[in-house]
Structure 1
Amino acid sequence: MLNKLKRAALGAHTPHDKATAASKPVPMPLPAQVRILMSQHIGAPAKALVKKGDEVFVGTKIGEAGGFVSANIHSSVSGTVAAVEAFRLSNGRMCDSVVIKTDGKQTVDPAVKAPEVTDKASFLAAVRECGLVGLGGAGFPTDVKLQPKQKVDTLLINASECEVWLTSDTQEMLECSDDIIRGIKAVLQYTGIPKCIIGIENNKPECIDLLCKKTKDDSTIEVKPLPSVYGTGAELILIEKCLGREVPHGGLPADAGAIVMNVTSVSTLGKYLATGMPVVQRTITVDGDACAKPQNVVVPVGTAYQDILDYVGVKGELGKVVAGGAMMGPAVENLSYPTTKTTSGLILLSKAAAQPAQVNPCIRCGRCVEYCPMGLEPVEVNQAYAARDVQELGKLHADYCFNCGSCSFVCPAKRPVTQMMSLAKAFYLGEIKKGGNK
């Protein structure tokens, strides 16, 4: 993180389009089938444990973690395995998937029961068995995150939810506050981390008030209101705003003495410790100008996007569907793509809203520099990338970009600045990996 971050970079002031903030999660009708991917996380894909014709139940383990950095996968429905087949992911890679024809009964696997946790080892084993990953979008296996080599003094809960339209985390705080506190206390108790800070943007006063009330008698947990500025939810920014610390270049949050967990992740952990039910469903915000009934819906992991669209309805002519938040989420190419553990939203845009704006020449106004939450200089990065100058890209810290989209959002010329930054970062990291010009 650049030193000037603390005095200059503010992040973009995106619209506060949170129409579903008061929409309590509603379970959608069970789909006829689900497709559960064996790769829903950072790291090695899980190895399928079932075959065609097998009977499975809600919570049945159908995928074994394929390595240390990996995660178990569980069935989100009861029914019969219709196929175990390769499926192309959104990044172009292929992975195994398990297609399950649902029986409509949602019978829970008899093996599902609350884990016996008595010490750190059994706690970490329970977290791994749960298949919990970062549910804010990153998908990093939680049991690995909770085993840092560095000394950590703060558990930082990311409850900012700064993405446009998304409100599933907001509803998690309002509806599952006890689960959040249970999950936090378990992490503190079994990892030895002395304190926790829950960072919430100040445009969610009802969440701040509720969690302050829940933690008022616990000196180890602090609720910290944060400025309502897009970009606050990024790990490096959150650590700077909550702790006043800088993560070393190329380092991890643990290098700054912190572990960061998404608020829904820690809530899910709290539920698992109480019930033994692994990660089998997600609350997803469905919104956008082409959505007939914007709402938060609870869907089994593996539900096709098309099934969700059929449930909420589409108004007018659909132009684009974005998976996740409107700022960082990718456009969906195929509506048969299934939801995963990390799916937080589907944004339905009309054909008019999805129409690309006319791109004009850069006028060097500097807005992309002023509003970058990481304090980067996209204009200079663009020039260095055009020249394929690896050394200059390193000096400009191109690898700090986390593709938040702020630069494209504020650009008056409507240039694809974010895409250029992504290309520059990928080029730079690729050259460094190859041992190129440093």
Structure 2
Amino acid sequence: MKKKLIGGISLSPPLKALKEKLKIHQQEVHSFEPNMVFIPLVQHIGTPAEPIVAIGDQVKQGQVIAETDAFVSAKIHASVSGKVLDITDWPDAGNQTTQAIIIENDFNYANDFRSTSFAWQQADNSFIKQKIQQAGIAGKGGATFPTHVKFAIKDSQSIDTLVLNGSECEPFLRSDALLMQNNAEKIIEGARIARKLLNDPAIVISIEDDKPLSIAAMKEAASPYSFIRVEEVPTVYPVGGEKQLVELLLDREVPIGKLTADVGVVLMNVATTFALYEAVCWDKPLIDRYTTVTGDVGEPQVVRSPIGTLAGELIDFAGRFQGAPSKVIMGGPMMGRTVNTLRVPTTKSTNGILVFNEENDWLFTENPCIRCNKCVEACPMRLMPMSIDQYFRAGDFDKCEELLADACINCGACTFVCPARRNLAATISDAKNKVIALKKEAAQHA
């Protein structure tokens, strides 16, 4: 019998009503093509890419425009064809700046993609891995871990299960749901390619039970394969967290500091699996993605657009702001980041843009902690968020380390349930980064 999710939250009645109000009913994805793209060079965990094009260069769609020799990194490609206008610092989703390559779209879409599908079944695994690395795929579920690294399995790791994460547990987001409805067979083929690289493990596809059309499409596409099963999981946040999902589906606990591969599991988001299919079968790198644009906009919808499209342009495409804008979040309401400019571009991990006006913005000024313990009950990692928050604000980083701040998965559940509206997730994320930095510093001086 599968275990129940430890911690986590369900939406309150008012938020369930808001989710129903914002529910996206479209059957086909809508496409938007901007006049210019602003492609950040930091879109993945690991070493940032360096530009290999110059201002004035003409580039093809899918051409590598930035890369590095580091293994834990990801190549960056032109998402449109056109002229490189500039290479400059540009706003990012962290309200900082990062280097970006600006390309003027010529709308010709000249590229070198394949016209016939690649016969991967007979190909050598090392060649397939090279194709994945060349495509610059990074986790599209939010972690942005370079996908080719997932297939560098150690001798001590024996993989028996590949989990495809289609849970998309962030409230209001429907990007992966619509992707599964329209591209189930392609996702299944991507999963079969990944299975070949992992020496033929079983495949489990996890989808939340509030996505019946996605479940039906994936079950039909998976039906010819006895080694694939589709599992419905409860609509509880954060059921899509990788460690939570492995424990829920397989009753395996991933120890703190370990990876899912250490317990025999490789986990991939369904959107990442779709990108893998496009890369291996058609030589198409990761240059676009499905993004949910919702909240207080005129026409909430899922949009397919080139990476590097500005948030403001996608909001305009979705019917513009409705009411007085209060907050724009890149990502979902739980793990997304509030941005202070609409010039922030989409990246490989931008699964949503969420707009709230003053009427529907439920985040208020922080108040003192009332020690209600709700954040502890909601934490899927069994941490003590209010204590980590307290010690971080006091500057006691040793105590933060003792309380395992670096085990936080940044899900945001603690902030969401806090009646005092304390921004626990932000301070714990800062505590986590501080603890990690101090550990690295201590190791360097050991």
Q: What SS class does the counterpart of residue 337 from structure 2 fall into?
A: coil
Q: CA deviation at 1:304?
A: 1.1
| Runs of 5+ unmatched residues, structure 2 | none
- The answer to whether structure 1 residue 163 and structure 2 residue 170 are counterparts is yes
- The answer to whether structure 1 residue 425 and structure 2 residue 432 are counterparts is yes
Q: Is the 8 A contact 1:239 1:245 kept in 2?
A: yes
- The answer to whether structure 1 residue 134 and structure 2 residue 139 are counterparts is yes
Aligned twin of 2:378: 371
Q: How does 1:189-208 map to 2 (within 5 A)?
A: 189-208=196-215
Q: How does 1:30-45 map to 2 (within 5 A)?
A: 30-45=33-48
Q: What SS class does the counterpart of residue 434 from structure 1 fall into?
A: helix
Change in CA separation of 1:241 and 1:129 when aligned onto 2, cut-off 3 Å = same
- The answer to whether structure 1 residue 233 and structure 2 residue 240 are counterparts is yes
| Runs of 5+ unmatched residues, structure 1 | 1-5
Q: Is the 8 A contact 2:37 2:307 kept in 1?
A: yes
- The answer to whether structure 1 residue 96 and structure 2 residue 124 are counterparts is no
Aligned twin of 1:9: 6
Q: How does 1:393-408 map to 2 (within 5 A)?
A: 393-408=400-415
Change in CA separation of 1:8 and 1:175 when aligned onto 2, cut-off 3 Å = closer
Q: CA deviation at 1:275?
A: 2.0
CA distance in 1, matches of 2:62, 2:434: 41
Change in CA separation of 1:255 and 1:36 when aligned onto 2, cut-off 3 Å = same
Identity of aligned residues (%): 36
Change in CA separation of 1:9 and 1:26 when aligned onto 2, cut-off 3 Å = closer
Q: CA deviation at 1:423?
A: 3.0
Which of the numbers 145, 163, 187 marks the counterpart of 1:180?
Answer: 187
CA distance in 2, matches of 1:292, 1:21: 12
Q: What SS class does the counterpart of residue 261 from structure 1 fall into?
A: strand
Aligned twin of 1:308: 314
CA distance in 1, matches of 2:342, 2:52: 27
Q: Is the 8 A contact 1:25 1:298 kept in 2?
A: no
Change in CA separation of 1:275 and 1:260 when aligned onto 2, cut-off 3 Å = same
The amino acid across from 2:428 in the alignment is M
Aligned twin of 1:122: 127
Q: How does 1:18-417 map to 2 (within 5 A)?
A: 19-87=22-90, 89-91=92-94, 95-109=98-112, 117=120, 118-149=123-154, 150-288=157-295, 290-312=296-318, 313-354=320-361, 356-386=363-393, 388-390=395-397, 392-417=399-424
CA distance in 1, matches of 2:41, 2:405: 32
CA distance in 1, matches of 2:433, 2:196: 40
Q: Is the 8 A contact 2:94 2:337 kept in 1?
A: no
Change in CA separation of 1:272 and 1:7 when aligned onto 2, cut-off 3 Å = closer
Aligned twin of 1:3: none
CA distance in 2, matches of 1:358, 1:40: 31
Q: Is the 8 A contact 2:190 2:274 kept in 1?
A: yes
The amino acid across from 1:248 in the alignment is P
RMSD: 2.3
Q: CA deviation at 1:395?
A: 4.1
Q: Is the 8 A contact 1:152 1:257 kept in 2?
A: yes
Q: Which moved more, 1:298-307 or 1:111-120?
A: 111-120
CA distance in 2, matches of 1:50, 1:112: 26
CA distance in 1, matches of 2:224, 2:112: 38
Q: Is the 8 A contact 2:5 2:239 kept in 1?
A: no
Q: Is the 8 A contact 2:32 2:303 kept in 1?
A: no
Q: CA deviation at 1:426?
A: 2.7
CA distance in 2, matches of 1:61, 1:383: 46
Q: CA deviation at 1:348?
A: 0.9
Q: CA deviation at 1:7?
A: 7.3
CA distance in 1, matches of 2:426, 2:46: 24
Q: What SS class does the counterpart of residue 319 from structure 1 fall into?
A: strand
Change in CA separation of 1:207 and 1:333 when aligned onto 2, cut-off 3 Å = same
Q: CA deviation at 1:59?
A: 1.6
Q: CA deviation at 1:396?
A: 2.7
Change in CA separation of 1:35 and 1:309 when aligned onto 2, cut-off 3 Å = same
CA distance in 1, matches of 2:107, 2:389: 53
